[in-house]
């Protein structure tokens, strides 16, 4: 882990869950579904209905660190939502939550108690956005409560979606969050998938790694999310709460790539390829270390409810995550609804 930190920090660890290859997409079959959270206000979710029109099979699809305010990254970068719909699964894609880990935060993000301003620019580097107003800064992030209460109830009441035995999966930040949601809300989620997730966030160096990532991905402060080494922090650590997952027999799909680029990662202009590989390799190696640690923890507990996927190729990018979703879908289909 120390080696991975040494490599990753200088090149901008904040691409944890970054949308590495911008291929904007918009599926006209999906629709905006607005739900108001008492803390966060109106939140948009994109919904894509199952091809056969059923309301029993539902999956929540979570984004990465640089989640945007217009569309969920899975819709922007991949055709995975369409594949899920063709498997007769209703797709729920929350929009927003940059750097949130989809957690209930301790306080709105701020530094040194200073008020936020409208000065600064969205340059892609959070160093210019630390003191800017925005989501999770003007108000307190309340994502876990929103996903497991407000959105869940609204989907059931307004669309008739089943409120239990749902699936949830995500990449990087979203992968960690998917496992957390399933652990603490087993009545809602019978299945969770983590692709390149950080599943041992209390390991040495991980908090500072996440601190750097959140500062760069929108200028967020990890101390506002959860104080160090307290109940709220451990609440987010799959390595710590692993016994819950074993006790509830929650079906899990846990994956991380080898950090070796896929041939598709090497396609395109040389500059884009170099950027993709230089950023994606060390981050995936860190995710792999976290995921292997979680695997060892689950094995020590005698877990029999996990499928592990460690493909020979895969870096921290959408090529890896898309391929992993295709591998996971048949197993998830058998364990939801």
CA atoms 257, 322, 81, 25: torsion sign: positive
Instruction: Write down the catalytic residue from 316, 322, 323, 324.
Output: 316
276, two tokens: 């993709």
316: annotated active-site residue: yes
Cα–Cα distance for residue pair 233/226, rounded to 1 Å = 5
Q: Which of 99, 172, 194, 259 is catalytic?
A: 172
Nearest CA to 137 out of 172, 173, 102, 100 is that of 100
Active site residue 323: no
Active site residue 284: yes
* CA nearest to 91, candidates 19, 166, 21, 23: 166
Are 277 and 267 in contact, with CB atoms under 8 Å apart?
no
Q: Pick the catalytic residue: 77, 98, 284, 324?
A: 284
Contacts 24+ apart (CB under 8 A), 153-159: 154/33, 154/35, 155/33, 155/47, 155/58, 155/92, 158/33, 159/33, 159/47, 159/55
The residues carrying an active-site annotation are: 172, 284, 316
């Amino acid at each position: 882990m120390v080696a991975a930190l040494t490599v990753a920090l200088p090149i901008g660890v904040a691409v944890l869950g970054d949308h590495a290859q911008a291929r904007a997409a918009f599926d006209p079959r999906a629709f905006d579904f607005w739900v108001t959270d008492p803390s966060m206000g109106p939140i948009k979710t994109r919904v894509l209905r199952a091809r056969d029109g059923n309301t029993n099979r539902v999956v929540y699809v979570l984004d990465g660190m640089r989640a945007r305010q217009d569309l969920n990254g899975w819709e922007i970068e991949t055709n995975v939502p369409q594949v899920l719909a063709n498997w007769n699964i209703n797709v729920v894609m929350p929009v927003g939550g940059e750097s949130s880990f989809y957690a209930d935060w301790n306080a709105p993000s701020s530094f040194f108690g200073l008020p936020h301003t409208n000065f600064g620019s969205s340059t892609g580097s959070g160093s210019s956005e630390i003191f800017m107003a925005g989501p999770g800064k003007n108000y307190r992030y309340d994502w876990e409560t929103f996903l497991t209460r407000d959105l869940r109830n609204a989907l059931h009441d307004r669309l008739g979606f089943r409120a239990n035995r749902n699936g949830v999966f995500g990449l990087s930040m979203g992968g960690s969050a998917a496992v957390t949601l399933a652990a603490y809300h087993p009545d809602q989620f019978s299945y969770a998938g983590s692709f390149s997730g950080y599943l041992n966030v209390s390991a040495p160096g991980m908090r500072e790694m996440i601190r750097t990532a959140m500062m760069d991905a929108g200028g967020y402060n990890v101390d506002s999310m959860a104080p160090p080494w307290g109940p709220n922090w451990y609440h987010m650590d799959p390595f710590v709460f692993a016994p819950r997952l074993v006790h509830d027999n929650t079906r899990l799909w846990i994956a991380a790539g080898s950090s070796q680029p896929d041939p598709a990662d090497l396609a395109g202009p040389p500059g884009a390829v170099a950027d993709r590989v230089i950023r994606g390799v060390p981050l995936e190696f860190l995710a792999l270390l976290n995921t292997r640690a979680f695997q060892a923890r689950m094995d020590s507990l005698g877990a029999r409810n996990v499928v592990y996927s460690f493909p020979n190729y895969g870096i921290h990018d959408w090529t890896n995550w898309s391929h992993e979703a295709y591998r996971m879908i048949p197993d998830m289909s058998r364990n939801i609804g």
